[in-house]
Structure 1
Amino acid sequence: MTTKQIALVTGANKGIGFATARQLGERGMTVLVGARDTDRGQAAEKALRENGADAHFIQLDVTDDESVARAAKRISDEFGRLDILVNNAGIAAINRLEPPSGTSLDLLREVYETNVFGVVAVTNALLPLLRQAPAARIVNVSSEVGSLAIMSDPTHPLYPFISITYPSSKTALNMVTTMYAKELRDSSIKVNAANPGYCATDLNNNEGFRTPEQGAEVTVHLATLPDDGPHGQLWGFLMDGKGSYGVVPW
């Protein structure tokens, strides 16, 4: 069995997920590139390998129970454990922003399938492998728009953003993170949520003011926490005008 740390990143074929996989690979880890689309996943694996990473494409659609089960079995058969799980796969439906009164339930269900239910499905399937690692880390990639404190603060720059679909999915993900953290508080597994900030990716038509690489730094920090690192926090970019990082209020 390899002594290298093994990290799975979902939605790793582009954007913050790809940047996260690359940064973890640069740290000498074996990186499992989770992606729905085989061609895109294999292309990401190839690009990471050309950059020197020990990368392996894993076909993984977080909304498909059979795909999740196959991915978990392959990781178990080939590696026997998992040191880091980054639940990065997500959708925003940014082109279909609607006010609460105009919310499409079909769109709401679609977003929740990936951003919330998919995280639970993948985490539950891989938790036995995470328990086999000496000190595993789970990082759920969330967002400050899921913070009740921020979105209800009239003085915050994000206050004008009014939509249920994406923000509420991240609020739910924050609670999911909190509950896993409580369940695993007496184990060696640390569970945290990452706030990468507004990064330019396909999720927002590349309109963000931060790069995917900057967003990935937040996730990588939480994925490589020491044994005395934080547990059960939403941590990352603070929209304070200073470019600071720290704990983001739930």
Structure 2
Amino acid sequence: MNDIRWALVTGADRGLGLALTQGLLDQGFHVWAGQYAETSPALQELAAAHGDRLRPLRLDISNAESIAAALNAVKAETDRLELLINNGAILGNITATVQDELDFEEMDQVFRVNTLGALRMTNGLIDPILNSTGKLIVNISSEAGSIRACKRTAWFAYCMSKSALNMQSQLIHNQIAPLGGKVLVVHPGHVQTYMQGKLDTSGRLTPAQSAQHILGLVEQRLSPDWSDEQLALIDYQGERWPW
């Protein structure tokens, strides 16, 4: 069983998360796929094709009890996790400026998913991650989290939550890099996603295209020769973005 390479992807029901899950399965990983929706026909199709190498996992990363149950399921199966991809995210309001009425309860939920959800997952799985060979945490961030590059006047919840995710990534990197741990913070590009509740077809990348690029970066960092001395926010093509 020690030769099995385990990965976990949050937000794997559809979109980028589903594409990342498919790509990892194609690479031979056994994948825990975080499933927020009560049912996911797409994940069921993948499970039918890949058998027990795919483990759909009911998971609401904004809910402590849901996370605890998911972590218990993973730890009952393995004490090693090569790769954690914190992909699950929501968008929130993207039009209200500081001169409008702001929905702070919605903002709180965005932070609970985008920032604290990722931290809860990483915190709960850090021992299996560091016990593996890969020791890699991937946080799917966004150019929207870059303070220096920001030109927006709205998107408060999403931009702020992704900036906080970037800081989270740096703090984790500082702790685990001396232990051989690695962190990848990546902007996936403008992807056709469901983050606004319906498919956004304006994205220039399909989920499969973005996932292919990201998994290429993942493969680099899983190499034992990779040195991650300085963390950076990079895009799906490996180009650096300012924090």
TM-score for the superposition, normalised by structure 1 = 0.87
| Whole-Å separation in 1 of the counterparts to 2:145 and 2:136 | 22
CA distance in 2, matches of 1:123, 1:203: 22
The answer to whether the 8 Å contact 1:141/1:219 transfers is no
Q: Using the TM superposition, name which of 200-209 and 107-116 deviates more.
A: 200-209
Does residue 247 (structure 1) correspond to residue 240 (structure 2)? The answer is: yes
Residues 1:223 and 2:208 aligned together: no
Q: Kindly tell me: are residues 65 and 160 of structure 1, through their superposed partners in 2, closer, same or farther at Cα, counting changes over 3 Å?
A: closer
Aligned mates of 2:49, 2:16 — CA distance in 1: 17
CA distance in 2, matches of 1:80, 1:18: 24
- The CA deviation at 1:38 is 3.4
Listed one character per residue, the Cα deviations across residues 171-191 of structure 1 (whole Å, up to 9, x for unaligned) are 111111111011111012201
Q: In the TM superposition, what are the counterparts of 1:82-93 in structure 2 within 5 Å?
A: 82-93=81-92
Q: Which residue does 1:241 correspond to in 2?
A: none
- Cα drift, residue 129 of structure 1: 1.2
Q: Which residue of 1 aligns with 2:169?
A: 177
Within-5 A mapping of 1:56-67: 56-67=55-66
Shift of 1:52: 4.0
Note the C-alpha offset of 1:228.
Answer: 3.4
Structure 1: where are the runs of 5+ without partners? 152-158, 238-243
Shift of 1:100: 2.8
Would you say the 8 A contact 2:92–2:155 is kept in 1? no
Unaligned 5+ residue runs, structure 2? none
Equivalent residue in structure 1 for 2:194, among 180, 195, 202? 202
- Assess, with a 3 A threshold, how the Cα gap between structure 1 residues 179 and 195 changes in structure 2: closer, same or farther: same
- 1:68-95 CA deviation, whole Å, 9 max, x = no partner? 111111111112221100000000025x
Across the aligned residues of Structure 1 and Structure 2, the Cα RMSD in angstroms comes to 1.9
SS at 1:86 equivalent: strand
2:45 alignment counterpart:
47
Identity of aligned residues (%): 28
- Cα distance in structure 1, aligned partners of 2:135 and 2:217: 11
Query: Which residue is equivalent to 2:180?
Result: 188
Relative to the length of structure 2, the TM-score reads 0.89
Are positions 1:135 and 2:117 aligned together?
no
Does structure 2 retain, via aligned residues, the 8 Å contact 1:7–1:30?
A: yes
SS of residue matched to 1:63: coil
What is the one-letter code of the residue matched to 1:184? I
State the shift of 1:214 in Å.
2.0
Aligned to 1:24: 24
